[in-house]
Every structure is written in C-alpha cells, then in structure tokens.
Structure 1
Amino acid sequence: MNRKNLISAGVLLLLVALTISAIFKGNDMAAVVAAMKKLHPAYLCAAAATAIFFVSAEGLMICYLLRSLNYRTKAATCVKYSFVGFFFSGITPSATGGQPMQLYYMQKEGHKVSDSTVVLMTVAVIYKFVLVVMGVGILFFYHEPLSVYLKKYLYLYYLGLFLNTALVVILLFIMVSPKCFKGIVIGGEKILKKFRLLKSSRERTEKLIEMADQYHEAVLFFLKNKSKIAAVIAFTVIQRCSVFFLTWLIYRGLGLEGASAFTVMSLQAAIYIAVDMLPLPGAQGITEMMYKTAFSMIFPGAYLTASMCVTRGLNFYLVLILSAMVSLWSHLRSGKAGRMATELP
C-alpha cells in the first residue's frame, strides 16, 4: 500500500470514528442492543451471504469476460480481483483506487493490460449503467414517496444520478473511440515525461500504441458479441438488487412488517445512487446520515439505529475486512513469487 492509500485509510478511520460518535450520540444504546438481539440468526446469515455475493459477483463477471477473450482463468482468481478492488475502492475517495489495483494484479498474473482494461471498463460501465437505469426508474415512478422519505437529502439523489450518468457517457465514449483512448494513453505519457516522472523511450511509446490498438480490438470483439454483454447486464441487475435486498432481509429479520420489499429496496438504491460518486472514502458518514433519514418511517425507535449498524456493518465493514485480508494475502503471495523468480538461476 503506497503513501496515498495509507493517507486515505487514515481518513477513513477518522471518518469512522466521527460517524460512530454521531450515530451513538443521543441514542439509548441499551435499547439499540436489545433491538439488535431480536435479529433472527437465519436472516443475519442470509444477509451476510448476500453481502459477500455482491462482491464475488463482480469477479464472476470478470472471469466470464476474460474467458470470452480466450484466457484460461479460474473463477476464484477473478473473485480475488473483485475483493482487492472493493478494498482499495473503499479506502479511496470516489472509489478511484479499486480498478488500478485490480489491473496491477491482473497484469502480474499474465493478462494483457489492454484486455484487462477493456474487461474492467466493461464491468464498470455496465455497473454504472444499471445503477443509472434503476435511478431513472425510481425518479419517474417513485418520485413523490422518494421526496417524502429522503427529505433534505433529495438533492444528493439528483446529484448522484447526474454524476453517474455523466460517467457512463464518458466511459462509453472512451471505449468506442480508439482515437480518444490512444490520445489519453499517449497524452498521459507526455505529461509524465514533461514533469520528468518518465524518461523518453521510443520503445515504451511503441508498446503503448500497440496496447491501445489491442484495446480497440477487444472492444470490437465485445461489440460484435452482444449476447455476452447482455448476459453481463442481466447478472449485474441481480448483483445490484442483492445488496438492496440485504436491507429487506434485516427488516424482516427484526420481525418488522408493513413496508414492502419494493419500498425498502428502492430507498436503499436511492442512498447508493446519492453517495456513490461522493469524494469520501467508503462514502463514510453521509451514508449513515441518509440511512437514518430515509428509513426513519420504516424502522421504528431503536430499530432504526440497530438496522443501520447491522446493514452497514455487513454491506461495507464486513466485506471491507474480508477484502483487506484478501488484499494482504495477494500482496504477500505476489512478493513471495517475485522473490522466488529472482532466486531462480
């Protein structure tokens, strides 16, 4: 982990401390703990499994797309890439650190940078696209209830939907425009050379141009195989809905009734859309505040804080801890492999 990531992790820990302080302030913690104890173990286990599935599903999609490009890769290896991405996304602002680290490990394990970039961008675009479609659907068909539940945070929903839509458009343009991608690659190299972070190298420039050409070939392959993209979109819808369904599991596990699964899942989706692009590690703090506002009429009394602690604990902190363990294991394994390679005659 480099210095930048360490700083981001430190900021995350500070935000966690401030968030915990804000959450527990003014709450009867005895009542909150008592409410949490009412959570049925079967629902808790199902919710935890759903959180792990959410992250693992991305790895399965990466595996599917890599195999489409004739890579003989294992599903477990790609799931590892997914957990690594979740960890570094969770500790960096706007989740910017995930894909670079995924790309790093994929390249170290024999995948072409061009192919890996296309696969990761395809997964990212579809992930955002599905989120935007869901967001627009909620906006058109559930606007009035949404404004009632979100109250003062409704503007964040509009902002999140706009930012996600803009990102989808930008990523799609980069993907389908070979000149644009090649310009970004070559332009990036020129900037790094200008600031003397890279030395001039004709061989490196030629390799970058070759990589850009290979990237475009991979994009064309997926554009010609629309059935594969359709399969990833369908699976992404299931993946997205799974993490929203987690909140419904907690609601039912606490023995509560009255709110429909659609209402609970729509509100959780709205929170994700609102905070997804905010420049805070793990969207820490704002997610919890929005949750308490959005679900104040769904979870009564101490159940509100109890449900938030369990839901956030499973869909972020549990997965972040597991992702940290996977990332550490990948780092140690990568270092061991590097040392073995240098020791070979």
Structure 2
Amino acid sequence: MGNKKKMLFNVTFLVLVFGLTMYGVFHGEDLGQILNIIKTVNPAFLIPGVLCVVIFIWGESIIIYYMMRSLGIMLKKWTCFLFSSVGFFFSCITPSASGGQPAQIYYMKKEKIPIPVSTLVLMIVTITYKLVLVVIGLGLVIFGQGFIHKYLSGMLFVFYLGIALNVFCVAAMLILVFHPRLARNIMVKGLWLLERMHLVRHKQSRIDKLEESMVQYSQTAVYLKSHTMVIINVFLITVFQRLSLFLATYFVYRSFGLKGKSIVVIVLLQAVISVAVDMLPLPGGMGISEKLFLIIFVPIFGVKLLLPGMILSRGLGYYTELIISALLTVTANFTIGKKRLNEEKGIQNVRIL
C-alpha cells in the first residue's frame, strides 16, 4: 500500500513539474514558428544524438557488468543493460533521482544477486557518477575562470551551489565508506537531536538499520582498497558515459546548420547545467535545466534558434532517455528473473517426480 502511494505521489509530482515547465517555457511563444524552425533541422545529425543517449545508458551497464565480474558474479551484458535502464527510468521520474537504485536492487534481487553486493556496486556507481561532476565543476573553477565569466555570468550562484552540493554529497559518501564509525556517531547524534526536538519518535529499528548500513559501508571500503584499478577504470568509463550525453547537444547545434562554436565549449556548457541541477529535488532537473539552457546557450544558438535548440537538446538528453529506459524497464519486468524462476520450478518438478 505504501509503495502504491509513493508511486502515485511521484507520478503526480512529475506531471505537475512537467506542466509547470511547459507553461514556463512556451507561455507567450509562437508555437507555430517554433515548429517550423524545428522542421528545418537536418535529422542526420539527430541520429548520433540519440546514439549518445543509448551510449549513456549502456555505459552504466558496462560498469555494472565489469564490477559484478570482479566480485565473481557472471551476468550477461544484456541483463546489465536492463538493470541500467531500470535505474535511469526511475531516476527520471522521482525527485532527486531517489528511486533509481532501490528499483535496481529489486531487479538484481530477482536475479539472485545478494543485496549487500548490489548495494556495494551501486554505491560505487553513484560515487563515481557524482565525482565526475565534481571534477568538471572544480576544474572550471580552478582553470576556467575566463570560461565562467564569459558564459556563466547569469547563473553563477546556481553553478557554485551545484558544485557545493555535489562536493558535500561525494564527501559524505566517502566518509560513510572510509570512516563508518564517525558516520555512525554523527547519525546517532543526529537522530538523538531530532528525537529531543520531537521531530521523530524513538525507534530501535532505526538504530538497527543504521548498524546494518554501516556493515555495507565497511564492505565498500574493503572493496575500494583492494580493487584500486577497478575503481580507476570505472571512473574513466563514467567520464566517457557522462560526456556522451553532453555531446548530444553538439549534434543538435549542428542539426540547425550551425558551425563555428567549439565542441568543447558546447559539451562543457551542458556539463555545467548537470553540475548545477544534479542535486536539486526535481525529476531529471526538469524546469531548472530548461531555464539554465535558455540563459547560457544564447551565444551558441542565438536568440532565434535558442528555444528550438533547447527543445531538441532536452528532448534528447531527458525525454529520449526517459522513453528508451521506460521501454527497456517494461522488457526487464517481463524477462529479469524469469529464467531462474523457471529453472527453480523445473528442479522442484524433478524432485517431485
């Protein structure tokens, strides 16, 4: 019952944010003119843009496949691709992408993957996923002040806030992994403070769950220390994965017949949007991503092509990802775990005979 209410809330929230986003973007605009401009694009450039989205989803599946093998669990690449798709679909429709990993753990459990193992793998995926944004953000702050002042003057606060939130998130996860005792003490004191403020009731079950999670974090630390090259490779794959999605905007730029702007600048501008919105409690950064695009991409697309460019860029970077991952999630629902279930039934039938 609780899961149904949560799903209903997530869907309602998604529809509400989508409606407000559409109103904010298209209110007062000439939709007919926008559609006419979009019709003039060269679709040959949009095809590699769609491939960038597929590569983005596929990249995480390769990481899952690679890490599972390092732990002695042999999976098919297609199964890992479905795991990845499930994660991206639920991340796209839930605030702060909170639903992705629980859904992946659920489907991994159907394949008889132990929860501590799936939690370990997905935690490292999350750390490296956010670490790439931290590296890009801090790299621009340290080495790209000229770039920042030229392109980001209209969104400096949001950009720096995004960096700060991502740094805090990665630091918190690393503390949980490498200093679980310190993390436990902080959490226990935090719970005690909330109880004293009468914001939550005292429950021993919370402490018990905290103890269980600390064991998982300790296991993650052991893995990180004993698989250094694996982590380095995972980070490099994640860099390629994230840049592939940012690259989709470059193909949108070229689809309008535009030239002259550096591919590096366009990719970095799209990365900046991800840095800024990644930690915000909005499904897929919906609303704020569109707003930031319309602010910082003016020098790239110009005023006339800015809104059509945003529509195609977000159409590829979010909505195409949502549609592809949704279709593959349906596939996962009908295929993951079925083979093992049938094998177990076959064994049981043999025993009965």
Residue in 2 aligned with 1:102? 104
Residue in 1 aligned with 2:255? 253
Report the number of matched residues.
Answer: 339
1:50 shift after superposition: 0.2
Match of 1:127, as an amino acid? Y
Q: After the TM superposition, which residues 205-284 of structure 1 pair with which residues of structure 2 at under 5 Å, given as runs?
A: 213=215, 216-217=218-219, 219-284=221-286
Q: Is the 8 A contact 1:186 1:209 kept in 2?
A: no
Residue in 2 aligned with 1:18? 20
Q: 1:29 to 1:210 in 2, by over 3 A?
A: closer
Say which SS state the counterpart of residue 38 (structure 1) adopts: coil
Does 316-325 or 171-180 show the bigger shift?
171-180
Say which SS state the counterpart of residue 161 (structure 1) adopts: helix
1:335 shift after superposition: 9.1
Unaligned residue ranges in structure 2 (runs of 5+): 190-194
Q: 1:301 to 1:248 in 2, by over 3 A?
A: same
**Normalised TM-score (structure 1):** 0.86
2-side partners of 1:342 and 1:195: how far apart?
Answer: 40
Unaligned residue ranges in structure 1 (runs of 5+): none
Q: Is the 8 A contact 2:53 2:317 kept in 1?
A: yes
Residue in 2 aligned with 1:130? 132
Q: 1:178 to 1:288 in 2, by over 3 A?
A: same
Q: Is the 8 A contact 1:130 1:236 kept in 2?
A: yes
1-side partners of 2:188 and 2:119: how far apart?
Answer: 16
Q: Is the 8 A contact 1:115 1:215 kept in 2?
A: no
2-side partners of 1:28 and 1:319: how far apart?
Answer: 27
1:212 shift after superposition: 5.8
Residue in 2 aligned with 1:31? 33
Equivalent residue for 2:48, pick from 14, 24, 46? 46
1:275 shift after superposition: 0.5
Equivalent residue for 1:316, pick from 315, 318, 327? 318
1:47 shift after superposition: 0.1
Deviations for 1:282-331, whole angstroms, at most 9, x for unmatched residues? 21111101101111121123311111111111111111122222223333
Q: Does 1:305 align with 2:298?
A: no
Say which SS state the counterpart of residue 299 (structure 2) adopts: coil
1:12 shift after superposition: 1.1
Q: 1:199 to 1:38 in 2, by over 3 A?
A: closer
Say which SS state the counterpart of residue 52 (structure 1) adopts: helix
Residue in 2 aligned with 1:171? 173
2-side partners of 1:81 and 1:152: how far apart?
Answer: 38
Match of 2:164, as an amino acid? F
Q: Is the 8 A contact 1:146 1:267 kept in 2?
A: no
Q: Pairwise CA RMSD of aligned residues?
A: 3.4
Residue in 2 aligned with 1:82? 84
Match of 1:56, as an amino acid? W
2-side partners of 1:18 and 1:239: how far apart?
Answer: 30
Say which SS state the counterpart of residue 41 (structure 2) adopts: coil
Residue in 1 aligned with 2:192? none
Q: 1:267 to 1:218 in 2, by over 3 A?
A: closer
1:224 shift after superposition: 1.9
Q: 1:211 to 1:21 in 2, by over 3 A?
A: closer
Q: Is the 8 A contact 2:273 2:292 kept in 1?
A: yes
Match of 1:57, as an amino acid? G
Q: Is the 8 A contact 1:32 1:302 kept in 2?
A: no
Q: 1:257 to 1:62 in 2, by over 3 A?
A: same
